[in-house]
Amino acid sequence: MTFTYDVKKRKANRISYRILGLIFTTIALLQCITLFKNLTKHPMLTMIFAVMLGSYGLYLFIMSFRRQAYDITYKFSEEGMLVKHRYGESMYTFDDIEFITMVIPDESLIYYILNIKAKKDIYTIPFTNKREFCEKVYDFVNERIKHDEDDVIYIKDKKED
């Protein structure tokens, strides 16, 4: 049994994050120029503002290049989870997957979210209008990953009640 799911990302969002990050960084640099020329009345406040704004601008710019900012294809099979992204492919066996959680914000909402932690990577997979498919993928992966002994005992106790 194999499940394949594509998550599409908009190019306009990445471009917007980059432009906004560059604007914030530019404003921070201009604040630093006024600070170094002694044109400000409150140098410490200006420095704190410039550092915070510049840091956030750099964060936005750099994070617009991360793997999850682009289209991703997730393929769940008996071998494990294959993640195809812009920078190549990542293959995770079920031994590499530490946990999987399904987030249901509200029963009346139209989306579900799967959180998967594999090795050092955390994947957040949104499912819009695909409740049954999300539940199938969750059950498929959850049956195959290793659980701690405490979790297994808890599950067995729940079934006996």
Give the pLDDT of the chain (161 residues) as one tens digit per residue.
888 999 999 999 999 999 999 999 999 999 999 999 988 889 999 999 999 999 999 999 999 998 888 999 999 999 999 999 998 999 999 888 988 998 887 777 778 899 999 888 888 898 888 888 988 999 999 888 877 665 544 444 444 54
CATH of 72-147, one of 2.30.29.30, 3.30.465.10, 3.30.460.20, 3.40.710.10: 2.30.29.30
Q: What is the structure's pLDDT at 130?
A: 85
Sketch the domain layout of the chain as residue ranges.
7-65, 72-147
Q: What is the structure's pLDDT at 161?
A: 45
Q: What is the structure's pLDDT at 128?
A: 85
- In the sheet with 111-118, reading across from the earlier edge strand, the strands are 97-103, 111-118, 121-128
Nearest CA among 8, 134, 4, 140 for reference residue 74: 4
* Distances from the Cα of 96 to the Cα of 60, 87, 100, 101, 138, angstroms: 30, 20, 12, 15, 16
